[in-house]
Structure 1
């Protein structure tokens, strides 16, 4: 995810949610956001063919 700026995202969302983040926690929050974005990319990046349809109901 080269164009995802975790630091800018954290700053923006903290302001939007009026969520104070202590300065000593900021780098940790940014690191976790970047790690979460990388994990999400693993699920979102693989191509899915047009023939694939979601299951209407999960049945174990």
Structure 2
């Protein structure tokens, strides 16, 4: 699925709403679609970020 193909996003939204038995009013669709598009774009940035082969995840996370 790519963020540049609107048909895929609409199909995914419909399928996800059906799978989770969530009502999806037509008025919500643009906001849901925009949020999904932004989420996919951000996920692509994270996925494409190069990491060295010896990178190790942190054992402890703190804020």
Q: Report the TM-score, using the length of structure 1 for normalisation.
A: 0.76
Alignment length, in residue pairs? Answer: 58
Secondary structure of the residue aligned to 1:9 is helix
By relative contact order (CA 8 Å, sep 6+), the higher-ranking structure is 1
For structure 2, which runs of at least 5 residues remain unmatched after alignment? 3-7
CA-atom RMSD in angstroms:
1.7
Q: How many Å separate the matches in 2 of 1:36 and 1:26?
A: 15
Offset of 1:11 from its aligned partner?
Answer: 0.8
TM-score (structure 2 length as normaliser): 0.73
Residue 58 of structure 2 corresponds to residue 42 of structure 1: no
Which structure 2 residues correspond to residues 1-60 of structure 1 after superposition, within 5 A? 3-4=1-2, 5-58=8-61
